[in-house]
Structure 1
Amino acid sequence: MTYCVAIKVNDGLVFTSDTRTSAGVDDVRTYNKMHVFEYPGERVFVLMSAGNLATTQSVLTQIRRDLAAPVVPMSLMLAKHMYDAAEYVGSLSVNAQKGVSQQSQFGGVDLRATLILGGQIAGEEPALYMIYPEGNCIASSPEMPYLQIGENKYGKPILDRIIHEDTSLEDAARCALVSLDSTMRSNISVGPPLDLSIIRTDGMQIDQKLRLDLDTPFYASLKESWARNIAAIFTNLPRFEWESEVSPQQDMLIDEIKPDQPPVRRIV
């Protein structure tokens, strides 16, 4: 399993992914799930993948072959719009699934791969597309400014609460990393190291690219700060009525008064 999230805000795009591909008791493996195709000043793409690794590898290989070929009907360099690029990658994914299926000697293997393609082509706004195994795609929107693939349920709540189109790139990046951290705490099949890439609007290149492990100082500090502040906020949540120090149900009532004794009180 995997978890990848891409966020689109006014200032640009944020991409984060884990690298774990298996998490058996004695078999933990990693694989790069974030792939950058960068042509500074002209266009930049980030492709993230979840699903069958053979299908993903076939798609990446064909993308690189088309980019290197002198004459091809379509490539990431020839795409006039981000939507065209997404459709192109979707067609490669469908063809790859067919090819892997024909070569496989085993039946019942899930060959599907879901992809996120994001980036910017000069003259257009940055864009994000989720590409389904069937080859069709959907774009992010102001109402849904982020896209997730893989094990997405654990990291979704923080995105819903924090991310909107006016969120800064840095806050979006922190939110994406917290989303990944929440997922890793609940699912062992998602794990470090984590990859983070940022594209600023009209920058036409990767502005920041990081690989973060559990002992990377920034990520370790982020994890510790998030856990500590969540615990602090939780302890300050409103109390139930019966937890109050003094409430109508906990008034101190005087049962009887004797001249030579202090009042006897009963809590009800």
Structure 2
Amino acid sequence: MSTRDRSARDRAYDQVRADILTLRLLPSQRIDESTVAERVGVSRTPVREAFYQLASEGLVTVVSRGGYVVADMNIPRFRELIEAQHILVRAVTHLLIARITEADLDRLEQAVRDVDEAELSGDPGAVAETNARLHILEVELSGNSYLLPMGRTIHTHLQRLSFISFGGTGGDIRSPDSTEELAAHYRNVHDEHWGYLAALRDRDLPRALATAVRHVDRFKERVQEYLSSDAVDGIDFSGIAGAERAGD
């Protein structure tokens, strides 16, 4: 593939991926090569290649007769993501306590500051993106190459829900949060990020594990609040909130 073709594919990939993760393209929404090609200003071939790459990452589904739809966000996927996240944070925390260096801790601190700066910008897309990068970096610094693909997949797929939890809107989605509630959520996320980093610096495994698990549970509960409040229109999340509460 020529450099020019790769650039066209990358532009199409970046645009569609961003649209999916910020819900400008809704789950189960059909997308087509011609529309994206016209929007990005490229031919259909690099768009098709971008769609295949997104499909390999689970963000796009190839349907019959060569069509494409945005990957859905159904009950099993939500439950599996939370289960996987719980397993991942426990494993990563154990490895970080055992292996993390001072240079690694400095990288994590900068990543936490990046999330804080995104919060100050008031852009939920930027917060969700920097938050995902922070948690993927944690997996990377654990030093386990088998966990890293898992971590990238989990946190990329969680980013759509994270965007909602940070007050993002897209398509027909509306945030039910008051300013005070959203500000409280940001404070909790801020405190947990810095608390986890402090526990890693102290090599305090019980405190780090408790903080990591609380962080996952807070995210799960916040998403459930959205689902049970009927605040999310345009996405078929039917049954998730009730099913999750029944399993608690």
Common fold, TM-score beyond 0.5?
no
Larger radius of gyration: 1
TM (norm. structure 1) is: 0.26
TM (norm. structure 2) is: 0.27
More strand by share: 1
